[in-house]
Homo-oligomer: A and B are copies of this chain.
């Protein structure tokens, strides 16, 4: 049975897709246009009652929340494709820690920045310079901590690529593509090197090729 992923155009859905590619899991996609409100259709709300993207359907099994989906598949297919938890993850669970850091420290200010820079006209909101500045400062402090971490570790969880690094690709992409904030990555030597390594993985390049970001 092939996994169905809803809403491939959107960043959070790409978090799931890049994971499925790393784990060599077959999938197909179903377009959902959030700007036309298709995520609020009765059918979609049966899958994802909060109306958010993505959701997946795997036979009779459905799941939503991208970071729950990637954890599920990374565990279920542990022996296939890339190991995304690290080999000794019960001894060194740092991938879980850094995945949470991504979700609660990196994602929120970046999400706000993206809304006020790239999607402001599409969402009908006036870009608020004060909000942009505040969130750039917040994100900058987080990236300073990443710079320190990555000066002694090749990847966030240690010397191995994991779900934690992967989870930064989707929204991180916008910093260098559209939000005009490349310097936030490029001015930090180790963050910059890390970004180049993770964004040049064949899995991510395949996602960008198959499912280009909306403009």
Contacts and interface: CB of A to CB of B under 8 A. Distances in A.
A24 interface: no
Given A99-B68, A103-B104, A93 B50 contact: no
Contact of A145 (B49, B71, B72, B103): B49
A83 interface: no
A108 to B, nearest CB: 8
Nearest to A67: B100
Interface residues of A, number: 31
Contacts of A105: 50
A49 B104 contact: no
A101 B64 CA distance: 9
A61 B100 contact: no
A142 interface: yes
21 contacts: A50-B101, A50-B142, A61-B90, A63-B93, A63-B97, A65-B96, A65-B97, A65-B104, A67-B96, A68-B97, A68-B99, A69-B93, A71-B93, A71-B96, A72-B89, A72-B90, A72-B93, A75-B90, A75-B92, A103-B103, A103-B104
